[in-house]
Amino acid sequence: MKKYLVIVSLFLITGFSVVGQEDDVADDKMGKLQQRMTEYIQKKLNLTRGEAEKFRPVFVRYLLELRKTHREFKGDRPVLQLKIAELRVKVRNECRDILDEPRANKIFEYQREFEIKVKDELDRRKLERPGGIRRTKSLQN
């Protein structure tokens, strides 16, 4: 199970197509999955319109930095985990200025919830395919 979560997390992180720093450019280039994640988190946090406008650029920047961090430290797992933790603390502190502390602390919990939902959906789709997830060796060739 843990292995699947890591794979899904890496899939989500490496799938980001956002490279611009300006909010408008980032919004245009951000993939649908990342947009859905941002919307999901905003809904779960019950953000007002003003809070959402301030939160979105911070979260998009977090996703960009997370992707960059994964690229830079992919060969050194302990350093990667440390850098991700540092990034999350930084983003949580920025979000405390926008949201109250309890909601700022929930951001990454909701991110994980979203990733699990995506993984479950992918698994469900694999099961619906002819042959399901498990295919015999002869079918894979």
Cα 114 vs. chain centroid, distance in angstroms?
8
- SS percent in the chain: helix, strand, coil, step 5: 75, 0, 25
pLDDT at 3 exceeding the cut of 90 = no
Q: H or E segment at 13?
A: helix 2-14
Domain boundaries, the chain: 2-123
The fraction of the chain above a pLDDT of 90, given in percent, is 60
Mind listing the pLDDT tens digit for each residue in 124-139? 888 888 765 554 454 4
Convert 49-86 to b/e letters by CB count within 10 Å (16 or more is b).
Answer: eebbeebbebbbbbbbebbebbeebeeeeeeeeebbee
Mind listing the pLDDT tens digit for each residue in 14-37? 444 333 344 444 444 457 888 999
Tell me the whole-structure pTM to 2 decimals. Answer: 0.67
**Quick one: pLDDT at residue 132?**
59
**Quick one: pLDDT at residue 56?**
94
Mind listing the pLDDT tens digit for each residue in 104-115? 999 999 999 999
